[in-house]
Amino acid sequence: MNQNDLKEFLDAKVIEYNNPSFIDSDPIQIPHQFSLKEDIEISAFLTATIAWGNRKMIIKNANRMMNLLGNSPYDFIMQHKENQLEYLNDFVHRTFNGTDFRFFIKSLKNIYQNYNSLEDVFAKNSEKDSLQLSIHHFKKVFFEIDHPKRTQKHVSDPIKGSAAKRINMFLRWMIRDDNSGVDFGIWKTLSPAQLSCPLDVHSGNVARKLGLLNRKQNDAKALLNLDTNLRKMDAEDPVKYDFALFGLGVFEKF
């Protein structure tokens, strides 16, 4: 396909998958359970953090996370007593365990108390067409309080070569207003033009087959390669094509 044909093909796939029916099988259904901005962003961040592996298991464990937080994540984070964190000890999703979960609660409280919001932390170091530096500085803030060394691996750093798939997915959820009821668009200080595609095995494989990505590894360099090509098709909303790439890979086995 030439560039115009490829854009037409992918635009059609975006329309096919970027609609409310997508929510039923996707982890984004977890933050859709909430209406308070802080509840939405906290549940989205925690869900995105464990979003690797089997999607049904991700959804099951993300729901368990919310139950452990009394289905009021912001209230739990801001009001919890130390002994209440013991309820989180038995949580586990792959390599993310109760130790990690407890620290995430403490760190999020630190952010809301001292930085106002998650949105403000990411907005502070944003660039015109990238949030990868923002993610790097977010990680610094997130681990500025005493923390278990093991937990650092659960927040990716693009400056160290990571594609940061899960944080980029979280940012897509928060920033992109798709008018279709899937992504939330509740962060108004940042723009969809700054977003990067959540690059994973599915979107990466499809992107390579379509000639949008020529690097074998799914790392920060590959993400820049993919971002550059997606921005040629839509500079204002490049990550809308995540729906097309992911849908083609997961649902159509493209």
Contact 31, 173 (CB under 8 A): yes
Contact 124, 141 (CB under 8 A): no
Our count of domains for the chain comes to 1
Q: Can you tell me the distance from the alpha carbon of 251 to that of 158, in angstroms, rounded to the nearest whole number?
A: 28
Over residues 129-157, the mean pLDDT reads: 97
Q: Would 99 be classed as within a structural domain?
A: yes
Q: Would 6 be classed as within a structural domain?
A: no
The dihedrals phi and psi of 117, each to the nearest 5 degrees, come to -165, 165
- Do the bridges between strand 96-97 and strand 92-93 make them parallel or antiparallel, or are there none, so unpaired? antiparallel
Give the Cβ contact number of residue 117 at 10 Å.
15
Residue 124 has pLDDT above 90, yes or no: yes
pLDDT at 243: 96
pLDDT in tens, 19-64: 999 999 999 999 999 999 999 999 999 999 999 989 999 999 999 9
pLDDT at 16: 95
Residue 128 structural domain: 27-201
Q: Would 5 be classed as within a structural domain?
A: no
Determine if residue 127 is left, alpha or beta; phi over 0 gives left, psi from -120 to 50 gives alpha, anything else beta: beta
pLDDT in tens, 61-94: 999 999 999 999 999 999 999 999 999 999 999 9
